[in-house]
Amino acid sequence: MHTALTRANALAAYTMSVLASLTFLCFLSTFFNEYQVHADINTVKVVVKNVPDYAIGKDKNDLGFLTFDLQADLTPLFNWNVKQLFLYLTAEYETPSNKLNQVVLWDKIILRGENALLDYRSMNTKYYFWDDGNGLLAHKNVTMTLSWNVIPNAGNLPRITSTGVHSFAFPDAYTTTRAM
């Protein structure tokens, strides 16, 4: 009655349905986990320079240089469904021309099985801290936060912010010497 192709099709469809159901159950087993930990962030040295932006033209923009300390224990974030964490340190501030400025200063990928205990001292930023004008000079409220994306085996990709934040101020005068 049924050909071999019909039976193979039915077997393949049933197998895919079972695998999809198992994958969904695996996703549900870690969906309600709180991927929240505390991070201690501190700035060590903060300098601002007024330098020409060669990409735009002859306008001068603010360029911030800073070193930071970062301590966090990310081991509780790992479970059987977490492949890796994508960490990034951002700075947020407000200027008259922009309500919200967000700059990524540093990032790192931690794979499952690697050391997830962060203890960095006097780290330089990985990326430039440019402002599209002169908004960094004497700015008194720049907030740094550590965030991460959880990369799972199965499920959604949550973006989580740590409970520890750090606010700092830029100096009132430009630095003319070579920084860091």
Distance CA 99, CA 179 (A): 28
State residue 150's pLDDT score: 94
pLDDT value at residue 31: 84
State how far the Cα of 39 lies from the Cα of 87, in Å rounded to an integer.
12
Report how far residue 88's alpha carbon sits from residue 107's, in angstroms, rounded to the nearest whole number: 4
CATH 1.10.3470 assigned to domain 33-168? The reply is: no
Using only the alpha carbons of the chain, give its radius of gyration.
23
The DSSP result for the chain, as a single string, is ---HHHHHHHHHHHHHHHHHHHHHHHHHHHHT------EEEEEEEEEEEEEE-TTT-S-EEEEEEEEEEEEEE-GGG--TTEEEEEEEEEEEE--SS-S-EEEEEEEEEEETTS--EEEEEEEEPSS-EE-SSS-STT---EEEEEEEEEEESSS---EEEEEEEEEE---SS---SPP-
Question: What pTM was estimated for this model as a whole?
Answer: 0.84
Q: Which of 100, 79, 82, 80 is nearest to 91 (CA)?
A: 100
How much is the pLDDT for 57? 64
Give the C-alpha distances (Å, rounded to integers) separating 99 from 22, 95, 102, 103, 131. Answer: 45, 6, 10, 13, 13
Q: What pLDDT score was predicted for residue 180? A: 54
pLDDT in the model for residue 70: 97
Domain boundaries, the chain: 1-31, 33-168
pLDDT of residue 64: 94
* pLDDT at residue 178 in the model: 65
Spell out the residues 6+ positions from residue 53 whose beta carbon is closer than 8 angstroms to its own.
59, 60, 61, 130
Mean pLDDT in order along the chain per 10 residues (180 residues): 88 96 86 90 94 75 94 94 95 91 96 94 94 88 96 88 93 78
For residue 58, the model assigns a pLDDT of: 67
